[in-house]
Amino acid sequence: MIVTHQVARWLVLPLPFVALLLVIGLETPAFGQRPYYATPPPGSGPTPMQPYGESGGCSEEPAVLHRCALEKAKTFTPPRTPDGAPDLQGYWVRIGARDADNIEEHPEGFDGPGGRSLIIDPPDGRIPYQPWARAKVETHWATYWNPGQQCMPDTPPRQAYTAGTFQVVQTADRVVIIGEQYGTYRVIPAGSRPHVGRNIRLHMGDSRGRWEGNTLVVDVTNLKDRVWLDHVGNTFSESAHLVERWTMFHENAIHYEVTITDPTVFTRPWTMAFGWRRNATPDFQLMETGCWEGIQTWLQLLGHQLRVYRGGFAP
């Protein structure tokens, strides 16, 4: 049997071992206070990583993909839904964002390919933290359980580059994104309705979508700060405001871009870019990912090592 899911490598392992990897595989402070996928300090020389592939006629290296995809999108005519909107429906997997180890540049290691930064602005590929916020974030990996290993569903923008396959379903006034990872789903209403009240915090935030030409633009507010942007511990506060952009540039490829504004912890807005590639496997179906039931024993055995992350920058 050929398994085409992104999570396939876990399916051939004994379930107790899978549970162990989910809990401690990415967070092993006993081996050092920095993971191998931490951002190399300036002057470290070339970062070792596996080469990138190609999708839709563009390299999957994030900055290169960004430039190439936007250029191709200028002359690409996407398919349309019956109501005339670009048709993004189908099954998709992430490209450019190889894993969620670190959204900044990082080296390959025993279970990861390494990769270039997903950050295209600022040009140096680094998150523009305020100094106090960077110091706080650098304590996360050695102090807390990764929220993903506590089965916390991925929020935007990480929901767009989480593991597994995504399914996009569209109606005349909704775009729905369903993910394999933890069974998450996201409903994006289109139109001009206002956001919910400022005092309301939602795990997936409050999304409002609109079409600008062939691009789906989504404005996200009211986020909770309970999920990291990656395994190394980068995150944002509950003041974060996201603007996401999905643009199809090839029949089997979508460009994704998000700008994050959060004056509580960042010195300026910053932008990530990567993509999605169509999963065209015949008769494909999303696979359920059971997490909570599989980690309880190991959390009980190893729970003393790290603390539960409850948000780093809540007002």
State the Cα torsion 17-23-24-25 to the nearest 10°: 70
**Residue holding tokens 């039931």?**
293
Class of residue 202 by CB neighbours under 10 A (exposed 0-12, middle 13-18, buried 19+) = middle
Are 70 and 56 in contact, with CB atoms under 8 Å apart? no
CA distances from 27 to 101, 127, 218 (A): 11, 22, 33
* pLDDT at residue 122, rounded to an integer: 98
30, part of any domain: no
Check pLDDT > 70 for residue 9.
no
Helix (H, G, I), strand (E, B) or coil at 136: helix
Cis preceding linkage at 51, omega within 30: no
118, part of any domain: yes
164, part of any domain: yes
23, part of any domain: no
**Residue holding tokens 């999957």?**
60
204, part of any domain: yes
**Cβ-proximal residues to 162 (8 Å cutoff; 6+ apart), any chain:** 94, 100, 154, 179, 181, 184
Check pLDDT > 80 for residue 310.
yes
26, part of any domain: no
In the chain, the number of structural domains is 1
Full residue range of the structural domain in which residue 217 is found: 73-302
**Cβ-proximal residues to 23 (8 Å cutoff; 6+ apart), any chain:** 145, 149, 295, 298, 299, 302
pLDDT band with cut points at 50, 70 and 90 for residue 16: very low
The pLDDT tens digits of the residues spanning 153-173 come to: 889 999 999 989 999 999 999
Check pLDDT > 80 for residue 314.
no
The pLDDT tens digits of the residues spanning 259-301 come to: 999 999 999 999 999 999 999 999 999 987 777 766 666 666 6
Mean pLDDT of the chain: 87
226, part of any domain: yes
